[in-house]
Structures are given as C-alpha cells and as structure tokens.
Amino acid sequence: MTVFKPENKDYNISPYTGLTRRHWIAAGEYLLEGIFNNISSFDDPVIMPRKDTDVTYPHLSSAEEVQKRERMSERFEGLARSFFIAAPLIHIEPELNICGYSMRDYYKKHVLRICTPGDELYAGSYADLKKITNNTDPVCAFQQTVETCALVICLQDCRTEIWDSYTQSEKDIIAEFISSYAHENTVPQNWRLFNMLDMAFLNKEGYAIDKEIMLDHAQTILNYYAGDGWYRDGHSFDYYSCWAFNVYAPIWNNWYGYEHAPYIAAKFEKNSNKLMETYADFFDRDGFTNMWGRSNIYRNASTSAFCGNMLLKNPTADPGLARRIMSGSLMQFLGREDFLYNGVPTLGFYGEFSPLVQGYSCAESPFWLGKAFLCLNLPENHPFWTAKENNGTWEKLRAEETKITVLNGPALCFSNHNANGETILRTGKVVKRPDDKHGMWNYSKLCYNTKYPWESSERSDIESQQYVLYTPAYDSYDKCNVTFWAGERDNVLYRRQFFDYDMKNESHWRQALTLADFTVANGIFRADKLRTFLRPVKMTLGSYGFPDNGTEIKILTHKGAKAILLRGTDFTGEPKQMAMTIYDGWDDIHILKSCGTNPDSQRSIIIYASLTRHKQYGYEPYILMSQVITKQSHALFTEDEIFPVSDISYTDAEACGGYGPVTIKLKNGTVRVIDFDGIEGRLSL
C-alpha cells in the first residue's frame, strides 16, 4: 500500500492539518483496506501477517496446546481491535464495502462466530479457558477479557446496523460469552474497566449483572487516581491513563455511572476534565505523540482521551485544539512509508522495531490505535468537527520561550520548546527490575522527546538518555532501574536514580545519582550529582539517538567545554540537528554508531560523555554538567547555544560540588542555582 495522502484538504476550518471529518473517514477506510487485503475469503478471521515471531504471540516455540489457546486469543484480538476502526464507519455508511466485503455483514457474522461454542472461530468462555489451560490460579485472567470490552464498545458504536439486527437468541449467545468474562477474574489495574464496561453493556441491554462486583471494580479504579488527571496503572504511569482510564470511564459514566453510581461518575468526569487542563501540552507543535511507556505499538491511541472527555456531560476539552492534535498525531504515523507491513501497522512505533515489542502482543495488537477513531462517533455537527483548529500553547509562546508543566501526582514534567517545536518529557516514580531492559527503555530514560523516539542499545556500556555505570570491583555494567521524584524548585527539576536497585539492600548500599536538570530553549541542561559508595567507577551518558542517513559530524571546543554536533535527516528526509556539550565532571565526549537500534532509521548515532573516578574516598568532582539541544532544521546553532554557560560558581573551595549550592550563569542572562539540600526528604515513588 502507498502512504495515506489526504485529498482536498480544508485549511479554512483546519489551518494546521487541513484534515476534516471526511479525511478521518478516508483514513479509516485506508486502514481497513490494508486489513482486508490480507483476508482471502469472507469466512477467514482477522489474522494478519507478522514479521516478528520471536517476541509476539502465538509463540511458536511453545507447546501445541499453548499455541492453540493463543490462536484463540489472536482471532478475538484481531476481530475486536479492527472493529474499533470499522464500527464507526459502518454506522456512517452501512453499505460500506472494503476489498469486496460488506463490513456490516463481515463483522456481524464474525462477532457471532467468535462468541458461539462449537464454531471453529470460537474464542472460548472464561470457564472454557480455565479448563483448557488447567489453570488453578485463583486470580488468573485471559486476554479475551480485554477484547470483550472492545467488542461491547463497537457493538454500541454501530448498534443499529449490527446489534439490533441480531435475533434474540443470537444476542443471548453473545451476552452469555461477554458475561463469562465480565463477572470473572481480571488483572488488578486498568483491566477492571473492561469488566465494568462489559457489565454496563449487559445491564443496559436488560441482562442480569452482579452490581456488587461492578461497585468493587469501580471504587478500585477511582482509588488508582493520583491527581492531575492521571491514574496509577499497576505501579507505573503511562498512556494507559489516557487510552484506558480516561476513555473507558467516560463511556462507563454514560452507560451506567451517571444513573447508578453518580458519586463515582462525577469523580471520573472531574478527573477527565483535570487531565484536559494540561494534556494538550503533552504533544508537540505538530501534534506528535511521544514514544514513552509500554505498548508503544498503539501509537496515536493516546489521543483518544480527548474523545473520551467529549463523551461526558460537561466536557472541558478545547474541540479545535483536540482535533488539531488528533489529526497531527494521525499523520505522524499514517504519513510514513514504513508504517505498514503488508498493509497493516507494524510491530513498532514507526517501522518494525522489535526492542519495544512485548510478549502480550500479536500482529493484530496495533489496531488498538483504532481508539482514536472514536472521534467519528461524534456527529458531524459536533464542535469537534465544526470548530476551527487552533494550536493552544504553541500560538502563545514567544520565539525562544519554553512552557514547563510539572505534575507531582504522576511525577511528570513536560516542556514545550517553541525554539524547535519539540515537547520533552521527564518522568519519575519509576520502579523496574534490574534485568528489565525493556522497562528501563520505556520508563527510565532521562528525557523522552517527541521528535527523537527512544533508542535501544546493542552495547552494555552505552545507552541513549541514560547513565551506565561500570564498577570494576563487581565487573558489572548497571543502568538505573528506579527513579524517585523530588519535584521542581526554582525552575530546576530534581530526581534520584539508583543503579541495580533492589529491596535486599538499603539504598546506602546502592550506587546512585541525584538528578538536577533545567530547560534551555532547544533542550535540557543537566547538573547531576554522583552518589556512589564504591569506587573506582566508570560512567557514560548518551544523547538521544540521532537518525543516520548521511550525517555531518563536528567536534567543537570552547574554554574547556567540548561538544559534538550532528547534522542530517530522518527517515522521511526531514532535517535534523543535535549537539551535546560537556562541562564540569566529564572526561571526554564520543560518538557511537549502531544499526537496528533506532525506531526512525536503520542506522543511528549516539553522542556520549564518559568519565572515570579513581579513588574510593577521594574528593573528586561530583557534579556532572552536560547539555543536549536539538533542532528540526539545518540552520546552524550559534556558539552561545552550543556553549551557553558564562560562569559556574561552587560553594566548596575545591569546586567539586561536594556540598553547597552550585550557581550556573548562562550567556543569555539566565541564572540557575542547583541546590540538593533537603532532597532526601522530598523523594517519592
């Protein structure tokens, strides 16, 4: 398939993207064409070709009975998640035909088949799967629970065209299947919402539900709320707050909560509106979604929180801004030639990228991005479609201004940099296992940039946007798997990262860094402090991964500081420029070229700083100063941008930063005071 190219854009109503409701309809049809080009007959399920067979399921190395169960899940996942895209289109155009298939007839038949015992496509009830797997775990849960929720949302989206056309006995078959998951065990995090929506759908259709189970799930979900519109998902904070909690809860409000649990429904509405106060600033000037957290293959599903808010009785989302962001993020992906593999979204962020793929995904999992198409459930006269696009914060910032948003509840700090149009995310309250490299890539990077998706590493000693510590006494390379949050003070963000953290040892027996960083016009300046109990050590710090499609490399020096400058293009041919500068605390700066580690391009470059500390108890430099700046053009950085510091003042006479504030004066007149006093008392997870 060719790249999706919207035709006859309307820049009057949509001055930023040109996209309107008809373009979203065309985008949905474009995705459905890719899906149904892979379906050879009307009776075939939505099973897509996949490139990865090592990580994703069905796991070919597993026993045949395990693969059989996984294929049951995959069939249901493919059907339910592709239905996210198809359902609103079926409602808009009941006679919609894709690749020779009637969408209404296909989904009507296959939904019934997936729920019908004895059919070869049957996905199995909860009791069936317990028996098949011989699972005696009292809290076991199955993937089918996730997909039943997608199913009921989609049945509601095209209710007239499909659900209402079933006979009563057919409805009963589907309802019994849904109920088998609605009332059984689920995963104790965002999954509870799946059970809640299943029961809400059944209830409004006149089927009996256990309202005590419903209330237990609902109160638990409400108590995951951490503030600022965000919910804690398991331990983590990520886009599940946005494409799960703040989408499913508003739907639940309409189906059940407003009538039967008004207190909880009011809280869900208040929390969604709180998210809308800042969520638009999570995206960059182009509406790009940041690659952060797990399940990155869901891409622009992160924008579905705007749709969720508009389903509420009293929504506060700005409709023109919401559409601008949703359309920008849609084209972030659909506008790239590497987005599709055999016509379907890749198991990656842009192209195929196995380092981010997780074992709970299959080839059909990326269709979760279909949640963004919930906007098509809003009628064509809704303000979401009729309001003129605006770009919110980006229209108000001065040329070199940066807006910083700090959310202490979920430990998120995001900055909108008008100088380059990028949004940079800095996170905290992160806990991952020391051996969970995927978890650290997804959550423990120092910064996440909308224009520089996180890069993995093929080496143990260097990572992009992460410190790597080598301790000769243990002959070990360690990365930071735990990040405590201490919040912002005087425009400086403070955090604490531990290397190889576990609960077996007190934190004093863990190598660590206390982080202190602040924004500059084109990026982030770091003044972090070593907190080691064992030396000698060696350490590296990487920049963002830079796409290498022919890169100019320059080494620059200025009054004891050193920088490396990269100029090149990304996969799409867009110009890119990045510079990393080192100041006090570092020994030198280098580059690492690698292949297959960057989501944007096959080849990439990381600039990295290095240091060695020689003495176990020597009073050597503690403060590590560096800067990474980026630009989406080849207009040269000025010398003052690459080397911004005019003066550094230490409290200690040795100028090592062992104690007392450190004052950094920049050439543009900005002064930042780095003061770690009291950080221990403010650390939180």
Rounded to whole angstroms, the Cα distance separating 541 from 446 reads: 10
pLDDT band for 651, please (50, 70, 90 cuts): very high
Buried b (16+ CB within 10 A) or exposed e, 188-209: ebbbbbbbbbbbbbbbebebeb
The CB-side HSE value for 452 (13 A sphere, CA atoms) comes to 36
- Whether residue 657 is predicted with pLDDT greater than 80 in this model: the reply is yes
- Whether residue 60 is predicted with pLDDT greater than 90 in this model: the reply is no
Give residue-wise pLDDT tens across range 342-401.
Answer: 999 999 999 999 999 999 999 999 999 999 999 999 999 999 999 999 999 999 999 999
- Whether residue 1 is predicted with pLDDT greater than 80 in this model: the reply is no
Structure tokens at 677: 């006093």
What residues have CB less than 8 Å from 476, skipping those under 6 apart? 470, 500
Give residue-wise pLDDT tens across range 407-440.
Answer: 999 999 999 999 999 999 999 999 999 999 999 9
Rounded to whole angstroms, the Cα distance separating 236 from 339 reads: 28
DSSP 188: S
- Residue 503, phi then psi, degrees to nearest 5: -90, 0
- Whether residue 58 is preceded by a cis peptide bond, meaning omega within 30 degrees of 0, is yes
Spell out the alpha helix ranges (H) of 405-446: 437-443
- Residue 609, phi then psi, degrees to nearest 5: -95, 155
- Whether residue 556 is predicted with pLDDT greater than 80 in this model: the reply is yes
Residue (of 527, 471, 542, 533) closest to 506 by Cα position: 533
Q: Of all helices (H) and strands (E), which one includes residue 482?
A: strand 476-489
- Whether residue 67 is predicted with pLDDT greater than 90 in this model: the reply is no
Structure tokens at 323: 């559409």
What residues have CB less than 8 Å from 360, skipping those under 6 apart? 57, 143
Q: What is the 3-state secondary structure (H, E, C) of 505-533?
A: CCHHHCCEEEEEEEEECCEEEEEEEEECC
- Whether residue 319 is preceded by a cis peptide bond, meaning omega within 30 degrees of 0, is no
Residue 380 sits at the vertex; the CA angle it makes with 376 and 384, to the nearest 5 degrees, is 70
Residue (of 54, 67, 83, 66) closest to 364 by Cα position: 83
Q: How many CB atoms lie within 10 A of CB 111?
A: 23
Burial of 484 (0-12, 13-18, 19+ CB in 10 A): buried
Burial of 674 (0-12, 13-18, 19+ CB in 10 A): buried
Q: What is the 3-state secondary structure (H, E, C) of 45-64?
A: CCCCCCCCCCCCCCCCCCCH
Structure tokens at 316: 């506060």
Task: Give this prediction's pTM.
Answer: 0.97
Question: Which pLDDT score, from 0 to 100, does residue 253 have?
Answer: 98
Q: How many helices (H) and strands (E) does the chain have?
A: 17, 26
Rounded to whole angstroms, what are the CA distances from 355 to 52, 230, 292, 348, 455?
11, 27, 13, 8, 9
Domains defined along the chain, listed by start = 21-395 (1.50.10.20), 402-682 (2.70.98)
Rounded to whole angstroms, the Cα distance separating 356 from 399 reads: 35
Give residue-wise pLDDT tens across range 225-254.
Answer: 999 999 999 889 999 999 999 999 999 999
Contact 594, 457 (CB under 8 A): yes
- Whether residue 503 is predicted with pLDDT greater than 90 in this model: the reply is no
DSSP 4: P
Average pLDDT of the residues in 208-218:
98
Please tell me the chain's helix, strand, coil percentages from 3-state DSSP, rounded to the nearest 5: 35, 25, 40
Rounded to whole angstroms, the Cα distance separating 238 from 596 reads: 25
Average pLDDT of the residues in 36-46:
98
Structure tokens at 186: 């689920």
Question: Which pLDDT score, from 0 to 100, does residue 66 have?
Answer: 84
Contact 205, 156 (CB under 8 A): no
Structure tokens at 525: 């300046």
Rounded percentage of the chain residues whose pLDDT exceeds 70: 100
Q: Which conformational region is residue 674 in: left (phi greater than 0), alpha (psi within -120 to 50 degrees), or beta? A: beta
Question: Which pLDDT score, from 0 to 100, does residue 52 have?
Answer: 86
Question: Which pLDDT score, from 0 to 100, does residue 505 have?
Answer: 87
Residue (of 296, 411, 419) closest to 354 by Cα position: 296
pLDDT band for 517, please (50, 70, 90 cuts): very high
* DSSP-based three-state secondary structure for 496: strand
* Residue whose tokens read 């309202």: 211
End-to-end CA distance of the chain: 46
Rounded percentage of the chain residues whose pLDDT exceeds 90: 94
Question: Which pLDDT score, from 0 to 100, does residue 234 have?
Answer: 84
